[in-house]
A and B are shown apart, each in its own frame.
Chain A
Amino acid sequence: MKFKDKIRFVRQNMKKNRMRVFMTILATAIGCAFLILLASVGFGLEKSIISDLTEGRLANEINVYHDKDFNQLNDEDVEILKQIEHVKTVTKRNTLHHEMMFKLEEYESYWPQVYATNFPSEIEAGLELSDGRMPQANDEIIVGYHFNEILTEGNGNEIVYYEEDLIGKTIDLQVIYYDKEEMKQSESFPVKIVGITKQPAPKVKEQFALISEPLLKEIEDFTVEAFLNPEQSNDEDVELNLDKEKTYDDVRIYTNHLENVSGVIEKLNELGYGNYSVTNQLGQINTLFLVIKIGLIFVGTIALLIASIGIFNTMTMSVTERTQDIGIMKAIGAHPSTIKQIFLIESSYIGLIGAFIGTLFAYVISIVINFVTPMIIEALSGNEGATTQDIMLTYIPISLVATSVSISLLVAIFSGWRPAKKATTVDVLKAMRRDI
């Protein structure tokens, strides 16, 4: 008997008992939807947490904090790091700790984040621009995508942000110091903005400025000279800093491939370098969420098992009602396996339609939950800005749908197995005597 004919038989049989089959499909659909929704909470939370963790970071990036003696990293350390196998490049940044401000026309920015870096290694590490080009001269700088948001004009009552194009603009980097009468003075370093970094992930603000290492040296030379002015230099820290070798505040390693991150971390740990990597962190989180998701799927499967009782009942009734038909079919030459397959296809059909409807239910409910949850949080917290971040309580990936459909199908086959087996053992003579 051809598969197509078996399907036709099954559909004819199902049509005979529409209401009963519909109720069984509904029960399966509810079970499947429950399974998907329950597990989707695990997937949703995982996605939210991972996206929070990874925003603004590259997966092949490893931050290195200190050497084995907990000292900041110096050039020698950077060279050692570069020698580690699979390391593509190492970037080193220094934060300018001086009191300073940017001034562009009437717009000012106090206490900006300014980092000195080596641009060629930044390019190699994957620094990308949304506009402009990389610096070529020492007085050329790159600013973060949101830099204009810290350039403001006006007092506290009315603040106006700089909204014109920053590319090509010369901006004053003013370093503040105090003279011998402790009067506030400033030295201006005019720099030209030549590039703006690529737009970061939605929740990340990039308001920094990246200057070249030679410009940092120029600024440092000036500040050291100012501090060393004999009439004001009784600051011990300044003297201490002068004796120290050059170190870096922020050293990052970029591996050539994502799969090499753990190997490089292993080597760093061996060498005693303190480090942090999102990828490494993600590995632990993934394991935790895997356990949570398996647990939720397991609990959800119980709902499907309850639905399977309905399938078993429907199939048993179906076999009982069709005993005479089965007997006649066997009497004229139907193979027992054909009979079994017809009933197994019927229970699988119920399982599959139920899973399909259940998946649709789950998607609709998931969309509603994700739409309503932020509103409820806002209403409960009484704060409009409470949900500026996208909250995803439920997330249904294709893999979850595939898992749920497979479980539904397996449960349906499992439920239909015994009735189908019973159908094959129908006694031809007893079945045919039924209508006499």
Chain B
Amino acid sequence: MIQVKELNHQFKIGKKKRETIIPVLKNINLEVSKGEIVTIVGKSGSGKSTLLNLISGYIRPTEGNIFINNQNVSELSEGDWANFRINHLGFIFQSFQLIPSMTAYQNIELPLILKGASEVARKKQTLDMLEMVGLSDYKAFYPSELSGGQQQRVSIARALIVKPPIILADEPTGSLDSENEQELLNFIQKLNQDHNITFLIITHDDQVAKIGHRTIIIKDGKIQGGRSL
């Protein structure tokens, strides 16, 4: 489902004459199969978030290739990446990334609008999704009026609404208390079991790492090893 082959990435810091190159990821090879939950753990600055950003297409790799559903996404143009993202990937962010001026309903509906879905279809799917995440009574609430756990559920509903086969999550429990964290992890496992959705989760939390079928450890930009359930 996801294949990362000989991926190298480096950041350039400073202006031309005083440019410093900092290698962030070194020779990364990774494979995630359909229906798997893979967690990537590592310390701060280890390069795990950079890896997820590369897989999400937010930054382009310096070297190497990334294949998603057998398509080499490293070669996609920005426009093609946008189309690929809306059709194949769902995203869950640590700080939820909800649009503050939109209600819970509008935030969840947004991917369908971007996809060009009809109004009738949008309404049905959005209401279904609100029910699924248990927020039917909060559809008219703005993000600032919701708790952290509720915001993350809106964020998950937005990621799921286009029925993506893969969900990429960057520290999904980072802003949640332990009760909400557990609730979210249960929900991810349920989605994986019921809908066979593939999850690639970046975390530094052992609790989160434990839900993965496989856990990959990154240290200093290199894959140090892994463990399976």
Identify the closest chain B residue to A427 (Cβ).
Answer: B58
Q: Does B116 contact A (CB under 8 A)?
A: yes
Q: Give Cα A1–Cα B117 distance, bound, in whole angstroms.
A: 8
Identify the closest chain A residue to B122 (Cβ).
Answer: A5
**Least CB distance, A202 to chain B, in whole angstroms:** 58
A-side contacts of B100, CB under 8 Å: 324
Stretch of B34-42, B107-115, B127-135, B177-185 with 4 or more beta carbons under 8 angstroms from chain A: B107-115
Q: Does A16 contact B (CB under 8 A)?
A: yes
Q: Is the CB of B79 within 8 A of A329?
A: no
Among B59, B100, B114, the one with the most A-chain Cβ atoms within 10 Å of its Cβ is: B114
Q: Does B101 contact A (CB under 8 A)?
A: yes
Interface residues on B, range: 20 to 34
Q: Does B53 contact A (CB under 8 A)?
A: yes
Q: Is the CB of B59 within 8 A of A329?
A: no
Q: Is the CB of A329 within 8 A of B110?
A: yes
Q: Is the CB of A1 within 8 A of B113?
A: yes
Q: Is the CB of B86 within 8 A of A333?
A: yes
Q: Does A160 contact B (CB under 8 A)?
A: no
Stretch of B19-27, B89-97, B216-224 with 4 or more beta carbons under 8 angstroms from chain A: B89-97
Out of B59, B78, B91, name the residue touching A332 (CB < 8 Å).
Answer: B91
Stretch of A59-67, A151-159, A187-195, A334-342 with 4 or more beta carbons under 8 angstroms from chain B: A334-342
Number of interface residues of A (CB under 8 A): 23
Identify the closest chain A residue to B117 (Cβ).
Answer: A2
Q: Is the CB of A325 within 8 A of B53?
A: no
Q: Is the CB of A5 within 8 A of B113?
A: yes
Q: Give Cα A157–Cα B105 distance, bound, in whole angstroms.
A: 90
Q: Give Cα A12–Cα B110 distance, bound, in whole angstroms.
A: 14
Identify the closest chain B residue to A4 (Cβ).
Answer: B119
Out of A5, A325, A332, name the residue touching B111 (CB < 8 Å).
Answer: A332
Q: Is the CB of A429 within 8 A of B82?
A: no
Q: Does B9 contact A (CB under 8 A)?
A: no
Contact code string A192-221 (vs B, CB < 8 Å = 1, else 0): 000000000000000000000000000000
Out of B87, B98, B101, name the residue touching A16 (CB < 8 Å).
Answer: B101
Identify the closest chain A residue to B107 (Cβ).
Answer: A328
Q: Give Cα A16–Cα B98 distance, bound, in whole angstroms.
A: 17
Q: A325-B99, A336-B79, A336-B82 are in contact. Are A331 and B91 (CB under 8 A)?
A: yes
List 8 A-B pairs, Cβ < 8 Å: A329-B110, A332-B85, A333-B83, A333-B89, A336-B79, A338-B114, A432-B93, A436-B95
A324-B99, A337-B79 given; name 15 further pairs at CB < 8 Å: A1-B114, A1-B115, A16-B101, A328-B99, A331-B56, A331-B97, A333-B85, A335-B114, A336-B79, A336-B82, A338-B114, A428-B58, A429-B58, A432-B93, A432-B97
Interface pairs A-B: 4 shortest CB-CB: A333-B86, A333-B85, A335-B82, A428-B58
Q: Which residues of A are interface residues toward B (Cβ below 8 A)?
A: 1-2, 5, 12, 16, 324-325, 328-338, 428-429, 432, 435-436
